[in-house]
Amino acid sequence: MTAHPGTTRPGTRGRWRPHDTITLITTLTLITTLALTLGALVTGAPAARATAAPGTTAPGTTAPGTSTESLQTHVTPNEWTGWAKLGGVTTRGAPAAVNYRGKHYVFVRGSDGRVYHNVLTGYSWSGWSEVPGDGRAASDPAAVEYAGQLYLIARGTDDRIHRNTLDGRHWTGWSKIAGDGRTTSAPTAVVHLGSLHVYVHGHGDRVYRNIRDHGSWSGWSTVPGGGITPSAPAAAVYRNQLYLFVRGTDNRVYRNRYVDGDRSWIGWREVRGGGRARSAPAATVAYGQLYLVISGTDQRIHRNRYKGHGRAWTGWWEIPGRQRASTAPGAVAYAGFLRVYVRGADGAIYRNPVEPVGSHQGLRIRRRSSCLLLCWAEVSPATELRGVNERRHPRRRALRRSTRQARRARR
């Protein structure tokens, strides 16, 4: 006879035996399959995510035999707090967010073309106010911390890239970035190996970069790989590797990675998951993982995660809330939350923070009143089975202790 989890038979030591683990895992697998199947019947979504292997095609091309399906409509677990309006301003484009000196900054381009910001300190927002400098932006801004300063970068009305820096107290005002480059979309900026990298969508629909190092700019040059894109790029540094993401002319999302040792780019490859985007992607690092967020062709917000160490992307999942976005999203981690921002159909900015339980999509087991409750949650690979066959529950420890005391009393 096998003891129920959380109980022990008289005269035993309450050990968890290997065949008990196999039985429980088999049961969980059957329940998971049944849940996914029932969910697919109710929502009309497929019972399993279809992921396409990454190709070697450049953005703007379609690999032979690839699917033309749109994003999958799976919904992520309920750690998301839900969409809430960050009211007070009407914007014409996508938001940008950055952390600087313990504060969280959100920047937008207002309906008058000026750049506004809202600062979160702890749990309190400052409210929207114009960034000093009397500048006008023709597209969405980008923000990054570099050399102890906050760099705000935007495309001016002259189609050139301008910057405005904050030293913690004062803004320097808008000035043109050296290189005389022109762009028709928003820039993106990231710090890699102590240098500030700025990327834009430029002439010929190619991606260009300008690097600031030791106080000077390198000038604009094309990113190798031959890919083309109709919208702005996104960049992030993950595990000391520089990743660049774009939307191809086929609306698929592609990536390019810079290899430090070889000082070269690996070339454009499609991000796994088969998703399609209607605008530029957003990329950020949170909880030790690389997050990619897009506005899908269904105008809803989807995310994809990469956990490194040679693992595959998780695939595209819709962020809960059924929020629609009219522009590209913004994403950054702050105060233990991954925060996603979008511009809604009403022109206002909406936010949705999430605090995952762990780093692996799966089933977590919670024990209450000697019952097993199955709930969707995020658990790390290291602890996924620990809750099944390793973690010692306090009730179980108490029961073992009382059993030992009874044995000693009988002696």
Q: Which pLDDT does position 187 carry in this prediction? A: 96
Q: Which pLDDT does position 27 carry in this prediction? A: 67
* Residue range 301-355, pLDDT digits in tens: 999 999 887 778 999 999 988 888 888 999 999 988 999 999 998 999 999 998 7
Residue whose pair of structure tokens reads 């919904």 in the numeric block: 75
The rounded average pLDDT for each run of 10 residues, N- to C-terminus, in the chain (411 residues) is 41 50 64 55 35 37 34 55 90 94 96 96 95 94 97 96 96 93 92 96 94 94 92 95 96 94 88 93 94 94 89 91 89 92 93 68 34 30 32 56 67 57
Angle at 163 between CA 161 and CA 166, to 5 degrees: 165
Of 129, 110, 103, 102, the residue nearest 118 (C-alpha): 129
What would the two tokens of residue 11 be? Answer: 């005269």
SS3 20: helix
Q: Which pLDDT does position 79 carry in this prediction? A: 77
Q: Which pLDDT does position 60 carry in this prediction? A: 44
Q: Which pLDDT does position 30 carry in this prediction? A: 65
Structural contact between residues 183 and 199, judged by C-beta atoms closer than 8 angstroms: no
Q: Which pLDDT does position 72 carry in this prediction? A: 45
Give me the domains of the chain, ranges plus CATH numbers: 18-44+361-410 (no CATH), 84-354 (2.120.10.70)
* Residue range 22-66, pLDDT digits in tens: 566 666 666 665 555 554 433 333 333 333 333 334 444 433 223
Integer Cα distance of 237 and 290 in angstroms: 9
The three state secondary structure string of 240-284 is CEEEEEEECCCCEEEEEEEECCCCEECCCEECCCCCEECCCCEEE
* Residue range 367-379, pLDDT digits in tens: 333 323 232 333 2
Structural contact between residues 277 and 247, judged by C-beta atoms closer than 8 angstroms: yes
